[in-house]
Amino acid sequence: MAATSGNEKHLVDELENAFKGCYAALVSQDNVNLQGTDQEESKADVSQAIQHFLDSAKQLEGYFLQKQMMFSIARPEEAIKEDIEELKSELARKDALIQKHQAKVDRWIQTLSLAPQTPPGGVSHLQSQARHTPQVGMHSPSAGYSGKASPRAGSSGAPLNSPLAHLEKATSSLSASFERR
């Protein structure tokens, strides 16, 4: 165990020294006002320091992965317990996310139910805007559109039930104006 502890300490020290080397290469005063080939040499030094740091990090990661594998072989129940805890925390996180989205849905439903029955300017305003706006490809026969107004939308001036009813009425009146052309 003492040999592995020394190896671990050596790897950690090597990683720390590599990080210090990266930092020193990046903040060195020699790199401030360099031009031409000096700048290229500086870039090469920084690149070499970063590569040394990455190599040290990979060695340390390999060491810890090896220890984790040895631990999971020696105590498989611990690995299972860890997996169970990870799954529980993931479920809790997803439950919280579902509750957050459900609250947003409830808020939007409440907002839509409190929306005014007719938009400002009324339906005639929507119709006049739609006449001036080209509606290319709005209704296609393949989408199941028959060209007739929906019975739910109605043609009377009675108040509409929801914002979707406004949209349905506007599209049915638009389709009627396209059929007349």
pLDDT in tens, the chain (181 residues): 445 567 778 999 999 999 999 888 888 766 566 666 677 888 888 899 999 999 999 999 999 999 989 988 998 898 899 999 999 999 999 999 999 999 999 999 999 888 776 555 555 554 555 555 544 444 444 444 444 444 444 444 555 567 777 778 877 777 666 655 5
- Give the predicted TM-score (pTM) of the model: 0.43
Check residue 18 and give its pLDDT: 94
Rounded to a whole number of angstroms, the CA Rg of the chain reads 34
69 plus 39 within the same structural domain: yes
Check residue 10 and give its pLDDT: 92
6 plus 66 within the same structural domain: yes
11 plus 44 within the same structural domain: yes
120 alpha-carbon distance from chain centroid:
35
85 plus 60 within the same structural domain: no
Containing domain of residue 169, as a range? 122-131+148-180
Number of independent structural domains in the chain: 3
Residue 139 lies in a domain: no
